[in-house]
Amino acid sequence: MTVNMRSLMLGLMIPGVGLTGIVLASYGYLALSPVSRRHLDRVSFRLLVYALVAHMVFGASVLVMTLHAYTDWRCSLLSFATNIALQFSGGMFFCVAINLPLVLAHGFNGQKTEKYYVFGTAFVSAVCNGVAYACGALGWESAEQVCWYRSTNPARKLSWVVGTQTFWIFLISVGEIMAFLSIVWYLFRYTHSVRPSLTPRLSRSKPRSDAADSTIFMYRGIILRIAIYPLVSAVMNMTGALFDLYVIRHPIAAKQNAGLDIADLAMFAIRPLVYGLLAATDPSFINAINAIRRGEASSTDPDAPPSAVLSTVIDMRDSMSTMQTDVYIMNMNTLSMPKSNARKSVGEAIPVLTINAVQPIPAPVVLGGAIESLSKQSMEAAQREMARHL
């Protein structure tokens, strides 16, 4: 690596690693405060944190390789750390991409699928790069003067790069782009076909659709902002992979093209800086900072597990249906009771209501006042709970 190349690498990598470290430290500080912690409780935000940690490993490994030209086992280890961190971070942004349509369009529970995102991405990254490291495919590349894939046979080197890195990068990049387009199309159809009220209503027929529609209406800007992460990841990963393939297949032409070398190196080194800037402007991060500045009191215990009724919008729908059915059955049973006992029994169950035991009253009528008074708080809680899965 020439002096100019080394200066370019350090000039882009050091600010990126520094910014990423500051952002992660800020995340940690905000997560310690109950005032701001609930603003960070989002699946895509945690996946972003995992990706940023991987980029810290990536940046630190590249800095060491740039400052010290190791040619022994340390070169192989640094190359392994660089490749696995890069692949894992790309996988995390891919999981951010697929989580949005799964939650919004298909009603998946993002918090339950989060562990599968992390463990699945870690497994694929460890297997691909672990095999290359164990087989001695990583090390000092004398032709390029870098720690990367090494082989005197260009065809063999190409097979290692494609099989353990490029194929997976293109796969997740295509998935990220498709997921981004599906989210944009979903929001486009939503805004042109559904006009949700700013004051959601709770009815017996469609409580879930009201909550989901209101949540999408409230968080549509944040949803699009989250979708930018995988889009940027796809562009950078596919561009870098194309550069790598061209350099391997046309090594002589690549050496003669100084602009190509600079573009390849810049695309490789600018990643931590780009992702650090995106993370510093994340909506959850900004909301958490504003909460700290306002001294906002936490409305709920952040450490308490979500209730069964409001764990997801679907659970809210099921719980409301069950509650209505139970009250109706209770009213039907009062036909066989004496009037005084029936009034006492029902009064103990619902002290704020007076129920006539002579005729069964439908559940929506019996619970009308209570549901109407709690509908706004319940719907807002359901909206916040659904946003946690994004």
Report how far residue 82's alpha carbon sits from residue 80's, in angstroms, rounded to the nearest whole number.
5
Query: Residue 106, Cα to own-chain centre: how many angstroms?
Result: 16
Report how far residue 319's alpha carbon sits from residue 312's, in angstroms, rounded to the nearest whole number.
11
Helices (H) and strands (E) in the chain, counts: 16, 2
pLDDT (0 to 100) of residue 296: 56
pLDDT (0 to 100) of residue 298: 42
Q: What is the pLDDT of residues 31-52, one digit of tens each?
A: 998 899 988 988 999 999 999 9
Structural domains in the chain, CATH included, are 3-294 (1.20.1070.10), 313-388 (no CATH)
β-strand partners of 139:
148
Dump the DSSP string for 155-201.
Answer: HHHHHHHIIIIIHHHHHHHHHHHHHHHHHHHHHHHHHHH----SS--
CB 186 within 8 A of CB 105: yes
Dump the DSSP string for 88-125.
Answer: HHHHHHHHHHHHHHHHHTT---HHHHHHHHHHHHHHHH
Q: What are the per-10-residue average pLDDT scores of the chain (390 residues)? A: 79 94 95 90 93 94 88 92 94 93 83 93 95 92 83 86 92 92 84 53 42 62 87 92 85 74 85 94 92 67 37 35 40 42 42 41 44 50 57
How far lies 60's CA from each of 3, 56, 86, 171, in Å?
19, 6, 12, 26
CB atoms within 10 A of CB 259: 7
Rounded to two decimals, what is the model's pTM?
Answer: 0.73
Query: Residue 132, Cα to own-chain centre: how many angstroms?
Result: 29
pLDDT (0 to 100) of residue 6: 83
Place of tokens 């672990």: 130
